[in-house]
Amino acid sequence: MKALVTVLLASLAMMACTAPSKKSEDATEKKVLVLYYSQTGATKTVAEYIQQKLGADIAEVQAKEAYPEDFQQTVARGMKEMQEGVNPELLPLDVNPADYDVIFLGYPIWFGTYALPVKTLLQNIDLSGKEVVVFSTFGSGGLNESIAELQKAVPGINIIGKLGVRNALLDRVPAEADRLLIDLGMMEGENETLADYSEQQPVTEADTAIFNAAVGDYPMLSATPVTVGSRTTSTSIDYLFTAENAGQDGQKSTIKVYVTKGKAEGDQPVFTLVDR
């Protein structure tokens, strides 16, 4: 325990696209903890990858009464707890977060924000003075929404980086996590500088076909693309769609859907994140 990982003295901008990055010779050694809650194992996959890359300490947040493995049963319990204002009790952590300088905080997205056990966690630990890196897993999105909720729950929280991965795209964890760690100066390497998306333009038939192929039969989206911007990287063409989505309650809303399509023959478009 108490692993030491070299990080930059200064907090870096969230997920900035950078030139070649190396561990700074002027950096001081700070203690890093990967602290996460995972129900299905998806968030655990990300947490363990980050821990192994950094040689950091790791601790799992566990509910005293574990949530059911069945998705619908978990939804039912979660909704009941929220309606009753009850936060799940947690088992004691085997580390003290106060002993660390940098905390990677990981969780799945439930009901559009961080999972309920994390709500309890935040009431029992003090993140003031810490550098926090947020990572989450989700069916379609919720990363940015959950960060907004974190900032409300913990005023002044110093979030220096973020990472979100769809449960269906866990094979992307190594590349996405490495990019984040390089951006933060916590790992040597070089990141491709990504261009901004082009201005939004009305979708064409070809754009709509790409959107529909990416969204497919995903049950939580019933969306129609309206406008799109794009950018080209060394390995993919990325799209940012603005779409009109019909929620399960029948209410319509405007969402942003991020889609990527690899350049290799046979690569199919997939969506990586939904911002609601």
Assigned domain for 163 exists: yes
Pair (50, 173) in one structural domain: yes
- pLDDT band of residue 23 (cuts 50, 70, 90) is low
| Same-domain pairing of 218 and 179 | no
CA–CA separation, 159 vs 2, rounded Å?
Answer: 22
Residue 19 has pLDDT above 50, yes or no: no
**Is 191 inside any structural domain?**
no
In a shared domain, residues 179 and 223: no
Number of domains in the chain: 2
Same domain, 42 and 113: yes
Question: Is there a single domain that holds both residue 127 and residue 257?
Answer: no
- Concatenated DSSP letters for 176-208? HHHHHHHHTTSS-B--PPPPPPPPPEE--HHHH
Q: Structure pTM?
A: 0.88
Pair (159, 243) in one structural domain:
no
Partner residues linked to 36 by β-bridges: 60, 106
Note whether 139 and 241 are same-domain residues: no
> Do residues 27 and 146 both lie within one domain?
yes
Separation CA 242–CA 275 (nearest Å):
10
The parent domain of residue 221 ranges over 201-275
Question: Are residues 177 and 216 located together in one domain of the fold?
Answer: no
- Domain membership flag for residue 97: yes
* pLDDT tens profile 25-58: 433 489 999 999 999 999 999 999 999 999 999 9
Mean pLDDT of 91-95: 97
Helix, coil or strand: residue 30: strand
Task: Give the integer Cα–Cα distance in Å for 214 and 137.
Answer: 18
| In a domain? residue 69 | yes
**Do 164 and 258 fall within a single domain?**
no
- Tokens found for residue 186: 């916590």
